[in-house]
Structure formats: structure tokens, C-alpha cells
């Protein structure tokens, strides 16, 4: 089974800077971290390989500094790594990113399962996985927490996900795209021995020419999204009111306050 | 001079931090109450942490001494006792790697990835005064019969299963040329565990003693040459002491974090304590000691990695580190006021843990003399860096 897991490197939370011209996040060469949901996607990918055999590739798109996050994924147990890196990819929104990733999947060839984290905790869109599925015209299941069963003869897969109210298991043919939630797995630790070895492992780097990209579909020219403004919400001032008197009187006063605020 | 960790070290540090915070920190109260927890060692073995000092050829990951120091430091920031078990283990492993024959390494080093080792030198009546040791090894066909009693072994009784034992082999010779190191395990019919010490600090690491009664050790399990034991013992101390520095640095970093968080929050005379000069003097002392300890310990570990002389530097790492760890714990307790004296707050254990560093791997006063002797008679006043 050929498995590809797609990861995004996000800034460490105290390290975010915004470009005043584009209002986009500046992705500097400073070390970031793997998006936490993507770590769950890696874990599900590795469990799939351990159970059914196969090969797990990890893929990311970004500047050369993202190689360190790819090496972390290798130290978790992925077999090889691809970085899609070129100036032409810069400024890509979710649509252009999905197009670029889909081009990479086509070049890799015969990928059975494509795993994404449910969403990235920096931009919080959750769109790239489904958009890649659309670009490749394959099924997609979102918020997956477990792969229950794989029928390799019939090329189908039973996957469990949570909707708003209940747990659902669906059977889908593959190739397919899965967006993985954090509900069903615990990402494994990096292995000290693998950490040593992955530092010397080659990472395949592909640019827009390698992927045969249509220039109108990548980077800023392939991105219909325009960020008009970015701001940090002001923290609302918190006021504390102590309710005095007997427990009953305090409870009654609390109910009145909640009603006044339309919370009850 | 480059003070940066490599990408590899940074990645390993992140992994160790995650493990310590997720799997050791929540066990603090249990460890303080019950002591050593075997399942934490088992988990560290499963994750490849126990084998970090074991060469790859024997199933480990073979990291250098700077990296070992970094790992001990990270663990000690969360639980110095748990870190202490690995310090004693890696010290012993280093001697097997350095002095062991290929046959001996093949027989024992694989186990160092999942079981803890320890090195038995101290005896009930013999600590700093190594000349009074009594454990002996008598030559018999194909091997040796060991008799004696070793005491105050880090990892003793509960944690270690493999023991390096220093024993007298040539009583007619002088101290430095009369002892040999042997390796055996706790399944040896002549081996018997003694008691576990009820120590006040480093609760996550057991310390105990054992007895040897005609314990047979085949000659293949003799570590190094006949009568090379004291040299191996000294070398073990040299490895141990910068790792002890890392334990001290971990305690100091913990003290700094707790104290800073507290004085920024706690108000005194209408302002956070952090703005008071008297408080700043203490914070400065903790921060300065922590940084200086790290510089000394990493320098000593780096010297060892380069194969350079580091006898004095490693001793300073332990001595200075233990001094400032105790000071840092004392400052933190004082800043917490009466809360610092309560077991309900995670401060007082730092003092109990730090105090252990002034005994283990060489008594404080013995180390002072060692440092002075190098400065006086070897370097003759030449500076170190």
C-alpha cells in the first residue's frame, strides 16, 4: 500500500510575524513545528503501514527550512520525504496549495491513501485535504479518527469519523483522501536512533518545473484569496463581581445576571 | 567556539522534553511517596532512551557525551531522581564500552538498552578512603570468586540488574594497582541484594547495597586488564561528574522557573515581589549559577568527546553544580515563604534532591582536594581556558 502523508510546518506560537504589505504570515527560516493534527495523520499512516504493509512518504510545501519538520516525520518512522519548494509557490492560498500537492501526488504515482491533518492550527481552514481530493477526483472523508479495516483485494477501506452527534463508519474505495482528527491516536515519539539516521537521509525537493505546474495555478497568481487585514483581537477586560449573602441569595443574584446577559 | 546544539540534538531534546512532561511530570507525587518506578525505566527502554549511550553496534543509538549530558539535563528539569538512574547507568556503560573486550561487550552491552547497570565501588566502611575496601576476587579455574559487600549503590537493589564490581585482586600491591573490575548480574548465585536506603531526596532513584558470597565470575567478564580497576573507577567518576552537573543544572532550572513564576504573581507591599531588590538578588544568584553550571558541564563533556583531559573540569561541574543547586533550592524555598517549607508545594524537594549531589560520585570535600591538587601540582597555576 502506497501511503502519502502531508504535513504543514507552523510557527511556534510565540514567534508569529505578519507581513504588513500582504497581511500574510511571514514564514521565516526560524524553526517551527509540525502542525499537531498532522502528527496524528502521520501516526495513522504509520499504523496503516504496520498493519497492512507498504510505504509511507511524507510531503510538505514550503521553504528549505521545512526540511527539519520532514526529518522529524522520518524520525517517527516515515520512509521517505518530499519538499515542494520554489519561489513560485510563495503566497499560495489553500486552492493553489492543493493544486501543487495534487501535482506532486501525480508525479509520485499510484498513491493509495493520502492523509492530512484535519486542519492547521495557524490558518484553521481545513480545506487543503478536501481540495486535493477534488483536484485528483478521488473520494474524501474528513474528521477520521480510525481506519477500521482495509480490503486490499477490493481496494476498499472502512474508516470511522465523528459527525456532530455520532460516530460513523463508512466504506470507501481507494485511492482516497482522509483528513485525520486528533481523537483516535496518540502520535508516537521520535526514535533517538532514527533521529541520528534521518539527519543524513536525502529529501527529494521538487519545484514548479519538476511538477509540471500550470503557472496560473500556483503561488499568488493561482490564489483567489486576498487577505485584506490581519489583527490580534483585543482581550476584553474582565470584571469580577463577588456575590455576597447566603448561598441561596447568591444563586438568585447569579440567575438574574445570567438572564440580564441573555445567557439563560 | 559554537554554543549551539546541532539539529540532531535539538530534535532529541524536544523528544525527551515531551516524554518528561507527558510521562514523568504527572507521576511526581507518586514517585515522592513510593520511590523508584520500574515502569518508567521500562518505558524509557522501549523508547530508546536507556540505550542512548550504548553504541549502535550493540543496539543503542550511541550518542556522544555532550548529548548524554543534554538528555540528563532535560530529564532532571522535570525529575532529578529519574535522571539520576540514567546517570549511574551511562557511567557504567561507558566503562564497558571503553575497557571491555569484544567478547565482554558482546555478552553484556545489548542488555544495556533495556536494563540498568551500576558500578559498585563504595563499601559500608569505605567511601572516599578507597584503601579500606575489602571486597576481594580470588583466582580459580576459568574465573574468579568474589566476596564482599558494596553499599550506597545508585540504582542498587530495585533498578539495576547488571553490576560492575571493584574488587581487590593483588593485595600485595599499592592501592592504585591492586584492584580489578568484574561484571556480573543479580541472577548470579553468589549475589544477594541488601536493603534499599530510605533517602530523603532523589526519590525516583533507588540506592542500596548487595553482598557477594563466592560469586563466580568467568574470566571473560573481567573488565579491562588485571589490576586496572582503580583506573576504571577514576574514569567512571570522570564520566559521572559532568552528568551530575546536568542533574544540578536541572534542579537549578526548576528552581528558577518556580521562583520566577511565583514572584511575578505574588504581591508584597502592593506590588509583585519581582520588583523588590531583595528578591532580585536571589533570582540573580539562581540564574547565574544555572548558566555557569551548564557551561562547566558541557565543557567537561565536550573535552571527553574530544578525548582530552577533563579530570578537573568534570569535578568542577559536579562540585560547583551541587553547590549552586543547593543555593538555588534554598533561594526558591525562601522566596516561597512558608509555602516553600510545605510538601504541598513542589519546591522543598529540590533542596532534598540537591543535597544528594554533595555525597554521590565523590564527597564534596574530596572533590575540593582533587581540584586543588590538579591546580597546584599538575597545572601549577596555569589557567584552564
Which three cell numbers, joined as nine digits, stand for A79? 520512509
Q: How far apart are CA A67 and CA B355, in angstroms?
A: 44
CA Rg value for chain B = 21
Residue A158 has pLDDT above 60, yes or no: yes
Helix (H, G, I), strand (E, B) or coil at A44: helix
pLDDT single digits (tens) A109-146: 999 999 999 999 887 889 999 999 999 999 999 999 99
Predicted complex ipTM? 0.92
Contacts of A222 (CB under 8 A, 6+ apart): A92, A95, A96, A99, A214, A215, A216
Catalytic residue set of B: 361
Q: How far apart are CA B167 and CA B222, in angstroms?
A: 11
Among left, alpha and beta (phi > 0; psi -120 to 50; other), residue B59 is: left
Q: Is the CB of residue B66 less than 8 Å from the CB of residue B97?
A: no
**Residue A231 contacts B where some CB pair is shorter than 8 Å:** no
**Backbone dihedral angles phi then psi of residue B208, each to the nearest 5 degrees:** -160, -175
* pLDDT confidence of residue A162: 87
CA Rg value for chain A = 22
pTM of the model: 0.91
Q: Is the CB of residue A34 less than 8 Å from the CB of residue A73?
A: yes
Closest CA to B211 of B139, B151, B121, B132: B151
> CB burial class (10 A; 0-12, 13-18, 19+) of residue A30?
exposed
How confident is residue A234, by pLDDT bands cut at 50, 70 and 90?
confident
Beta strands in B199-289 (DSSP E): 207-218, 222-223, 267-268, 271-272
pLDDT single digits (tens) B253-289: 999 999 999 999 999 999 999 999 999 999 999 999 9
Helix (H, G, I), strand (E, B) or coil at A56: strand
What average pLDDT score do residues A182-210 get?
96
Beta strands in B129-189 (DSSP E): 136-140, 143-154, 160-168, 179-185
List of chain A residues whose C-beta atoms are within 8 Å of the C-beta of residue B12: 190, 192, 195
* pLDDT confidence of residue A12: 79
**Backbone dihedral angles phi then psi of residue B146, each to the nearest 5 degrees:** -105, 135
Q: How far apart are CA A221 and CA A224, in angstroms?
A: 8
Contacts of B116 (CB under 8 A, 6+ apart): B41, B50, B85, B88, B89, B155, B159, B160, B161, B162
* pLDDT confidence of residue B326: 98
Closest CA to B324 of B369, B368, B294: B294
* pLDDT confidence of residue A164: 82
Closest CA to B120 of B152, B168, B86: B152
* pLDDT confidence of residue A124: 83
Of A190, A192, A199, the CB nearest to B7: A199
* pLDDT confidence of residue A165: 86
Query: Which has the higher per-residue pLDDT, A21 or B359?
Result: B359
* pLDDT confidence of residue A15: 60
* pLDDT confidence of residue A33: 92
DSSP string computed for A166-233: -EEEEEEESSEEEEE-SSS--PPPPPHHHHHHHTTS--EEE-TTTTT--GGGSTGGG---------PP
Q: Is the CB of residue A16 less than 8 Å from the CB of residue A98?
A: no
* pLDDT confidence of residue A13: 65
Residues B63, A196: C-beta atoms closer than 8 Å: yes
Which three cell numbers, joined as nine digits, stand for B80? 532529578
How far off is chain A from B47, nearest CA to CA, in Å? Answer: 7
Examine residue B273 and say whether the peptide bond preceding it is cis (omega within 30 degrees of 0): no
| Average pLDDT for runs of 10 along chain B of length 385 | 93 97 97 97 98 98 98 98 98 98 98 97 89 95 96 96 98 96 98 96 97 98 97 95 98 98 96 97 98 97 92 95 98 97 95 96 93 93 82
Of A31, A189, A199, the CB nearest to B15: A189
Q: How far apart are CA B41 and CA A136, in angstroms?
A: 47
Q: Tell me how far the alpha carbon of residue A182 is from its chain's centroid.
A: 11
pLDDT single digits (tens) A42-95: 999 999 999 999 999 999 999 999 999 999 999 999 999 999 999 999 999 999
Residues A195, B8: C-beta atoms closer than 8 Å: yes
Interface mutation target, options B11, B51, B66, B86, chain A, most CBs of A under 10 Å: B11
Interface mutation target, options B6, B8, B51, B64, chain A, most CBs of A under 10 Å: B8
**Backbone dihedral angles phi then psi of residue A34, each to the nearest 5 degrees:** -70, 135
List of chain B residues whose C-beta atoms are within 8 Å of the C-beta of residue A190: 11-12, 14-15
Of A68, A71, A191, the CB nearest to B48: A191
Beta A167-173 vs A156-162: how paired, if at all?
antiparallel
Q: Is the CB of residue A181 less than 8 Å from the CB of residue A161?
A: yes
Q: Would you tell me how many other CB atoms lie within 10 Å of the CB of residue A155?
A: 14
Residues A195, B12: C-beta atoms closer than 8 Å: yes
Q: How far is CA B266 from CA B253, B274, B337, in A?
A: 20, 8, 11
Amino acid at each position: 500500500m502506497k501511503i502519502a502523508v502531508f504535513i504543514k510546518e507552523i510557527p511556534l506560537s510565540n514567534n508569529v510575524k505578519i507581513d504588513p504589505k500582504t497581511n500574510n504570515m511571514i514564514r521565516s527560516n526560524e524553526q517551527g513545528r509540525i502542525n499537531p493534527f498532522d502528527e496524528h495523520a502521520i501516526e495513522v499512516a504509520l499504523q496503516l503501514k504496520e498493519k497492512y504493509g507498504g510505504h509511507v512518504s511524507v510531503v510538505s510545501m514550503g521553504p528549505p527550512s521545512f526540511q527539519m519538520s520532514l526529518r522529524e516525520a522520518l524520525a517517527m518512522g516515515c520512509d521517505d520525504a518530499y519538499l515542494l519548494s520554489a519561489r513560485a509557490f510563495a503566497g499560495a492560498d489553500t486552492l493553489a496549495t492543493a493544486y501543487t500537492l495534487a501535482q506532486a501526488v501525480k508525479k509520485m504515482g499510484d498513491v493509495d491513501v493520502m492523509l492530512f491533518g484535519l486542519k492547521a492550527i495557524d490558518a484553521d481552514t481545513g480545506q487543503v485535504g478536501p481540495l486535493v481530493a477534488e483536484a485528483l477526483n478521488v473520494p474524501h472523508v474528513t474528521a477520521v479518527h480510525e481506519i477500521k479495516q482495509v480490503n486490499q483485494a477490493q481496494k476498499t477501506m472502512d474508516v470511522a469519523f465523528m459527525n456532530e452527534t455520532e460516530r460513523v463508519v463508512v466504506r470507501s474505495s481507494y485511492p482516497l483522501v482522509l483528513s485525520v482528527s486528533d481523537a483516535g491516536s496518540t502520535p508516537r515519539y521520535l526514535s533517538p536512533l532514527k533521529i541520528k539516521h534521518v539527519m543524513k537521509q536525502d529529501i527529494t525537493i521538487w519545484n514548479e518545473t519538476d511538477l509540471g505546474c500550470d503557472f496560473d495555478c500556483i503561488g499568488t497568481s493561482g490564489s483567489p484569496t486576498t487577505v485584506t487585514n490581519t489583527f490580534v483581537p483585543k482581550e476584553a477586560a474582565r470584571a469580577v463581581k463577588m456575590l455576597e449573602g447566603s448561598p441561596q441569595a447568591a444563586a438568585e443574584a447569579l440567575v438574574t445576571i445570567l438572564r440580564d446577559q441573555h445567557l439563560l | 567556539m559554537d554554543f549551539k546544539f546541532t539539529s540532531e540534538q535539538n530534535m532529541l531534546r524536544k523528544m525527551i522534553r515531551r516524554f518528561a512532561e507527558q510521562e514523568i511530570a504527572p507521576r511526581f507525587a507518586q514517585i515522592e511517596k513510593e520511590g523508584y518506578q520500574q515502569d518508567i525505566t521500562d518505558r524509557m527502554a522501549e523508547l530508546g532512551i536507556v540505550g542512548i549511550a550504548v553504541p549502535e553496534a550493540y543496539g543503542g543509538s550511541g550518542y556522544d557525551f555532550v548529548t548524554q549530558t543534554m538528555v540528563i539535563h532535560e530529564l532532571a528539569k522535570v525529575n532529578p531522581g529519574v535522571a539520576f538512574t540514567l546517570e549511574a547507568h551511562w557511567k557504567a556503560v561507558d566503562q564497558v564500552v571503553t575497557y571491555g573486550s569484544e567478547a565482554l561487550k558482546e555478552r553484556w552491552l545489548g542488555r544495556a538498552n533495556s536494563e540498568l547497570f551500576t558500578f559498585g565501588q563504595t563499601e559500608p566502611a569505605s567511601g572516599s578512603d578507597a584503601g579500606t575496601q575489602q571486597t576481594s576476587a580470588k583466582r580459580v579455574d576459568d574465573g574468579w570468586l568474589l566476596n564482599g559487600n558494596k553499599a550506597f549503590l545508585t540504582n542498587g537493589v530495585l533498578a539495576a540488574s547488571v553490576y560492575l564490581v571493584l574488587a581487590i585482586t593483588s593485595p600485595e600491591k599499592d592501592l592504585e594497582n591492586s584492584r580489578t573490575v568484574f561484571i556480573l548480574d543479580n541472577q548470579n548465585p553468589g549475589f544477594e541484594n541488601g536493603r534499599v536506603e530510605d533517602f530523603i531526596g532523589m526519590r525516583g532513584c533507588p540506592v542500596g547495597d548487595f553482598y557477594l558470597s563466592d560469586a563466580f565470575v568467568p574470566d571473560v567478564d573481567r573488565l579491562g586488564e588485571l589490576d586496572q580497576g582503580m583506573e576504571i573507577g577514576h574514569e567512571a567518576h570522570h564520566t559521572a561528574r559532568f552528568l551530575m552537573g546536568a542533574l544540578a543544572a536541572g534542579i537549578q532550572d526548576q528552581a528558577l522557573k518556580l521562583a520566577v513564576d511565583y514572584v511575578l504573581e505574588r504581591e508584597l507591599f502592593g506590588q509583585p515581589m519581582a520588583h523588590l531588590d531583595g528578591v532580585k538578588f536571589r533570582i540573580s544568584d539562581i540564574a547565574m549559577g544555572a548558566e555557569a553550571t551548564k557551561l562547566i558541564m558541557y565543557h567537561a563533556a565536550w573535552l571527553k568527546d574530544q578525548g582530552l583531559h577533563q579530570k578537573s573540569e568534570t569535578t568542577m561541574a559536579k562540585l560547583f553544580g551541587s553547590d549552586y543547586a543547593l543555593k538555588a533550592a534554598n533561594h526558591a524555598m525562601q522566596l516561597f515563604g512558608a509555602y516553600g517549607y510545605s510538601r504541598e508545594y513542589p519546591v522543598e524537594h529540590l533542596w532534598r534532591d540537591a543535597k544528594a549531589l554533595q555525597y554521590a560520585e565523590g564527597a564534596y570535600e574530596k572533590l575540593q582536594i582533587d581540584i586543588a591538587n590538579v591546580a597546584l601540582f599538575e597545572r601549577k597555576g596555569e589557567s584552564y581556558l
